[in-house]
Amino acid sequence: MNDDEYWYNLKEENGSVVIDKSLKSNTSKMHYYDSSSNYNYDDKKEKKKIEPIYLALGVILFLPFVVLIISLLIAQNNPSNNPNKYRTIMLYMVGSDLESTGGVASFDLKDIVGNNIDLDNINVLIMAGGSKVWHNFVKNDELGIYEITKAGYKKVKKFDLSNMGSSDTLSLFVNYVHDNYHSSKYDMIFWNHGLGAVGLEDDELYDDYLDISELKLAFEDSPFMNEKLELVVFNNCMAGNIHFASIMKNFAEYMVASEEVMYVGSNLDRLNFINNIKKEDSGYEIGLSYIRKSDESMSNLDKMKYGDLDTTLSIIDLSKIDSVEKNLNAFFNSIDLNNNNYKTISRIRRKTNTYGGDDYSYDMVDLYSLAESLDSYSSYNAKEKLKESINEAILYNSASNEYSKGISIYFPYYGSGENITSNLYNIDKVWNNDYTNFINKFYSLSNSARRANRAGEDDKVLLLTNDIIYDNNSLSIDLTSSEQEKYQNANIYIFSKNNDKFDLLLKSDEVEFDNNKLIFNKNKVLKTDNNIIISSIYEKGLYKVYGSFDNSDVIVKVTNDNGYGSINGIFVDSKDKPIGGLVDYNDELINFYSTNYSIDNELTNDWYSKIEKKPINNLNNGINVVQKDLANTYVLIEMFDENNDVFYSKLTEIK
């Protein structure tokens, strides 16, 4: 039996998605014409002879009914003959590693239930592919388009395997749906990874993604060049930016997306908002339903297990984006990016929150907050007009932090030179204006400053001039006048030497810049009265404890000040979590790792990548912050300048 002759229903059993597969000929919910069906006659029975004249008369009388029945049967199997409906929703689902390693796409599809959808008025079509392994009915050696029916998912079209990170494939999907499923309104949902300003929909099979120029090209080669989508939803990380909005303004009325990373998993059921869409709902109301469903799912997460994760979804009126772009260009045009201003603006950029979870290299920042932080370098009128136009474009903003106002922008800073060059190239293909001139010049100045710092010695570590001083329960280092001018922020690392390796006890950014020194004190880094190396800060009724126990470098919350208590939370925020990825989460299990670093006598730029992790299996319900003798303890100070270059002190033993 051909796969096209099945409906697929997904359900969850024991934490996994399983498939219910029903034959067309056996289902009682829907009936399709099956050309293999035939009537059984008993040859032993005498067949009554029919006179030719009566046969001819019967054909004439019943022919119109036969034609009608056959037409209806064909129409039922042929989407191009389906009657017009009010709304068609298209879901472009690139499974990638989200599906192959975690089955996340399968969990999301499970939650879209045909019996709960108003299918008399709504079509729901899905193109799925781009994953090495699927945990449902989707095959990894083809591209399929599936229609949601009352009986389940039905494959209505099969294509040869193609790259879903190509504009041609996206265009193929939207054109097929538009040609075969006629409706008054169309909506689009993208599902996969997001890559900030430069693209989305990463196809695992082809190792390729849709960059922003390809996104634009796909819709230019579609009916939505003239007939706009009512709503586009980006179920992707960091897609809530001015770059995507600038493209989609030509093809859609409303856009819903997130500025920050979007967390996914089997317990986050965002897509079942489709089940509740009504005919009378507007694109805005549908977008609002998606946001509320996402927020509800996030609020149900176990905060003790996952910590406080940011949510930053907004609804954008794309008809207002032209005004935002106009004022954006005027704003950046008003800033004099000379060498002196560059240094201060670079410091401001570093302090501006960067989206991307633990990975800042995407270099996305909130546009409204950026305008406010650069207000002293732009004209007041330009800044206020930009902020006003942003407020008009953002119809609804659901953010768990105060700095996310609904739309972000690319501002290169943390990314590697290769990544920034590639990103600027992609953005320049779509935009060429005062904003792009500004960020290209900013990066050029940053590059020049880095080259001047390194003076042709790119593979050598930049070292701080002076030594670390340990005195009166504090650590400090004197900065030269040149280092003071460059300083932006710093970290301190404390290690215990273990043979020729170093166990990381603590990483902290609790530093003061005072009297030309970097000073780590106030018992926030070293509390030596009991020989305990610990950093504890009281916050929201609990103590944050940075340090080690059982030789494991972790961050935990404890219920009291002396370092004893039960584990009641793990910090996963990038500002709190030590480097090394030392905590893993698997359902209700929390796995801890100890870590060793290989730090040579002559420090190298990649010292933190020379790491060994070993699981720790002897933890119990209580914790005890490890007590260490200060002997055999080493410290390293890391300083960042305005170009995001890193300067290190010598690895120094505390004596």
Higher pLDDT, 354 or 582: 354
224: CATH: 3.40.50.11970
Shared domain check, 202 and 119: yes
Q: Is residue 214 part of a domain?
A: yes
Got the DSSP string for 66-86? HHHHHHHHHHHH-GGGSPPEE
Instruction: Give 3-state DSSP helix, strand, coil % of the chain, rounded to 5.
Output: 30, 30, 35
- How far apart CA 193 and CA 236 sit, in angstroms, is 5
Name the most confidently modeled range: 70-84, 226-240, 481-495, 564-578: 226-240
Q: Are residues 411 and 378 in the same domain?
A: yes
283 and 329: one domain?
A: no
Q: Which of 454, 482, 503 is the last residue of a domain?
A: 454
Residue 179 domain-assigned (yes or no) = yes
Indicate whether 175 and 251 sit together in one domain.
yes
Domain that holds residue 334: 323-454
User: Are residue 510 and residue 643 in the same domain, yes or no?
Assistant: yes
Contact 645, 414 (CB under 8 A): no
Burial of 99 (0-12, 13-18, 19+ CB in 10 A): buried
Q: Is residue 55 a part of any domain in this protein?
A: no
pLDDT at 363 > cutoff 50: yes
Q: Is the domain of 120 the same as that of 163?
A: yes
Other CB atoms closer than 10 Å to residue 83's CB: what's the count?
A: 8
Mean pLDDT, the chain, rounded, equals 78
Q: What is the pLDDT of residues 557-577, one digit of tens each?
A: 333 333 333 333 333 333 333
> Could you tell me if 477 and 382 lie in one domain?
no
Helix (H) / strand (E) element for 331: namely helix 321-333
What tokens appear for 583 in the block? 């905590």
Domain endpoint, select from 309, 343, 373: 309
pLDDT tens-digit readout, 101-113: 889 999 999 999 9
CA distance 153 to 119: 13
Q: How far is CA 495 from CA 186, 529, 533, 552, 634, in A?
A: 58, 18, 10, 12, 5
Picking from 581, 580, 585, the residue whose alpha carbon sits closest to that of residue 567 is: 585
Record the tokens describing residue 634, joined without a space: 């080493």
Domain count, the chain: 3
**What average pLDDT does range 535-554 have in this prediction?**
38
Parallel, antiparallel or unpaired: strands 462-463 and 646-648:
parallel
The separation between CA 449 and the C-alpha centre of its own chain, rounded to angstroms, equals 32
* Pair (92, 157) in one structural domain: yes
**Separation CA 564–CA 542 (nearest Å):** 12
Q: What is the pLDDT of residues 353-362, one digit of tens each?
A: 999 987 889 9
Are 363 and 412 within 8 A, CB to CB?
Answer: yes
Residues 603, 626, single domain; the answer is yes
Q: What does each C-alpha distance from 209 to 67, 169, 193, 240 come to in angstroms?
A: 48, 11, 9, 17
